[in-house]
A and B are shown apart, each in its own frame.
Chain A
Amino acid sequence: MEDRRTVADGLRLAVRALVYAVLGGAALLAIATVASVLGPMLALDLYTPPVAAWWTVFTAIAVQGVPFLLLGTVVSAAIGAFVPARVFSRLLPSSPALAVPLAGAAGAVLPGCECASVPVAGSLMRRGVAPAAALAFLLSAPAINPVVLVATSIAFPGRPEMVLGRLVASLATAVGMGWLWARFGRDEWLRLPMRHAPAAASSGLRGFGAGLQHDFLHAGGFLVLGAAAAATFNIVVPRTVLDVFTGSPWLSVLLLAVLAVVLCVCSEADAFVAASLSGFSPTARLAFMVVGPMVDLKLIALQAGTFGRSFAVRFTSVTWVVAVVSSVLTGWWLL
């Protein structure tokens, strides 16, 4: 009885594998034929320099986001699977007014760019960390970690006040947003994917693997979406437009704050881009570096995917305003 079943199983598997191989092979062959015949013809018409540049920028943003996204999802899956909720309730003060600045300062320990921080903040919330504190961490982590600060000091040699200004303005924005959320935020705006149902066996290695797989694929899809939007702006908006606005200090701050949103430069590289925008005032360039890691198109896509669209719209727009105000004040004070 057992033998018969094993043999039947094996046969069934072999037949199925054969069918898959034949079907898959035929499909691949058909696709390859069509692509090799039509490809060059289409390529001549459609693969113009702008389209080629779009594909390059699109894949570049996706490729450079993958390692950081993976790091972020590994950390977030590890938090979900191995760190019990009571650790956070013990580490963080129960009053949000105190927990927010602490969480904001803790952002300094996650070395990565903004792609990494969204899944981590999501899993912190699932682990019972107050949303206000998790959001302060979400905003500060990509902006004030050591890698980013060192990159900033390299990009602005001999001007440590830029590094200090970036640290102060980013931390102020993160903590300010945390407090704003604690005071005015409503939990129904947040739609956390309750991936880990309370009763599910989701701790330990199995839970880690499942969480990692789900988080990476989910955030990866949104990263691709954001990369497509960023590449489109990168190709459509010429940088020469910038020269028009360099005259007015107020307009230039706003313009660079908008530019930071649409360009989606990684937080570890944005200091170099800011340094190259030599026509602008230091305050405008500071705004570029403060807004970029907190609000940009790929982040909006990632946040909409993780926390829901109604959250992303409210949160990113208020963050943008707070970040601009905070960089103007810091620039007026320090620069």
Chain B
Amino acid sequence: MRRYGPALLLVLTGSAILRISLFSALYLRYVQAALRPYLVVSGVVLVVLGVLAAVVRRKQRKAYDEEEHEHEHEQEQDQDQDHDRDPERDHGHGHGHGHGHGHGHGHGHHGHGPRIAWLLVLPALALLLFPPPALGSYSASREAAQRAAQGVGRFPALPAGDPVALSVAQFSSRAMYDSGHSLTGRTVRMTGFVTHGDDGTWYVTRLLVSCCAADATTSKVEIRGAGDAPPSDTWMTVTGTWHPQGRLGTDAAWPPVLDATSARQVKQPADPYEKR
């Protein structure tokens, strides 16, 4: 077990990466979509590397065993049988010291790989057994939703469609900064999870991730006219029209407001975050 530690770690890490990137779309909870091919390649490389490491290890053991056998043959036959009976202990000791220097990666840790590497087990097992959930209302509430930093200006025209599907971030930047008022008179549809404000207001919120979940930022839209607030973290698709409020680009215009005509509960989308 200790001898095959490095190989085991590589295979474990690789299969954890493959489980979330190749065999499911769970990687979207942690990183942005464009990283998928790199994750798949890394996972394959790690698994192959681990298998190779195990094979090399096994060969080295064989070579060592034979070397030992021949060596002992020259001396006496009895010793050989003794060795056969207890190859494990005999070997486990001799290998680490005898061969540690020869094959290049044993230096200082007797061929068992660096000890710190065992920390890799934590994220690997977490991903394999209990993949952590996507960030939700807790993270959104901890962080004051940020206004995208940009100046007031004219936005390109909205795509056709009634209702037109927008991301929460698109809606809120148009609502706050578009001097062309492209949202006026349009029915829009957005999907996000529910967060609560003071005195019964509620928001449809979405986290934006540009590289990994550690850099998540929040955008949100206040929902009016859709009845009582659903419980936090419920995923909702809301349809409605923009309710202008405050002067463009000022704090009064934030967060933007939607007069909802319908709000229905949906399943959490495969990609829980919005891409910038």
Contact = CB atoms under 8 A, between A and B. Distances in A.
Instruction: Give the one of A59, A225, A266 with max B CB within 10 A.
Output: A59
Interface string A246-277: 00000000000000000111101110110111
Interface in B138-186: 138-139, 142-144, 146-150
Given A52-B132, A213-B6, A70 B42 contact: yes
Contacts of B25: none
Interface stretch (A90-98, A101-109, A130-138, A200-208): A200-208
A197 interface: yes
A228 B163 CA distance: 43
Given A209-B52, A239-B143, A276-B149, A225 B119 contact: yes
B243 to A, nearest CB: 24
Contacts of A272: 210-211, 215, 217, 276
Contacts, number: 194
Contacts of B10: 213, 216-217
Nearest to A64: B212
A220 interface: yes
Contact of A63 (B31, B113, B144): B31
Contacts of A224: 119-120, 122-123
A126 B129 CA distance: 39
B132 A56 contact: yes
A213 B119 contact: no
Interface in A3-55: 8, 12, 35, 49-50, 52-53, 55
Contacts of B53: 209, 213
A211 B31 CA distance: 28
Interface stretch (B90-98, B103-111, B194-202, B262-270): B103-111
A276 B148 contact: yes
B107 A218 contact: no
B211 A62 contact: no
B113 A217 contact: yes
Given A57-B214, A66-B13, A272-B210, A278 B147 contact: yes
Given A63-B20, A63-B123, A56 B134 contact: yes
A238 B35 contact: no
A103 B199 CA distance: 59
B193 interface: no
Nearest to A270: B215
Size bin of chain A's contact surface: 35 or more
Interface string B116-132: 11111011001101011
B252 interface: no
B214 A264 contact: yes
B63 interface: no
Nearest to B39: A67
B49 interface: yes
Nearest to A24: B1
Contacts of B134: 56
A195 B10 CA distance: 19
Nearest to A237: B142
Interface string A266-307: 101110110111100000000000000000000000000100
A59 B30 contact: yes
Contacts of A243: 144
B114 A214 contact: yes
B107 A197 contact: yes
Contact of A214 (B45, B56, B105): B105
Contact of B214 (A61, A201, A202): A61
A112 B117 CA distance: 22
B154 to A, nearest CB: 14
A185 interface: no
A47 B210 CA distance: 26
A201 to B, nearest CB: 7
Given A8-B84, A194-B107, A221-B114, A230 B214 contact: yes
Given A61-B212, A278-B147, A195 B138 contact: no
Interface in B66-113: 84, 87, 101-105, 107-108, 113
B46 interface: yes
B120 A266 contact: no
Contacts of B107: 193-195, 197
Contacts of B103: 200, 206, 210
A66 B31 CA distance: 12
Contact of B142 (A202, A216, A239, A275): A239
A80 B266 CA distance: 53
A302 B171 CA distance: 41
B29 interface: yes
6 contacts: A58-B132, A63-B20, A206-B103, A217-B6, A240-B144, A272-B211
Interface of A: 8, 12, 35, 49-50, 52-53, 55-64, 66-67, 70, 157, 193-197, 200-202, 206-207, 209-214, 216-218, 220-222, 224-225, 227-228, 230-231, 234-235, 238-240, 243, 263-266, 268-270, 272-273, 275-278, 305
Interface of B: 6, 9-10, 13, 17, 20, 27, 29-31, 35, 38-39, 41-42, 45-46, 49, 52-53, 56, 84, 87, 101-105, 107-108, 113-120, 122-123, 126-127, 129, 131-139, 142-144, 146-150, 210-215, 217, 276
Given A70-B42, A70-B45, 4 more contacts: A53-B139, A64-B212, A200-B102, A263-B214
Closest 5 CB pairs of A and B: A269-B211, A221-B116, A217-B117, A49-B138, A60-B213
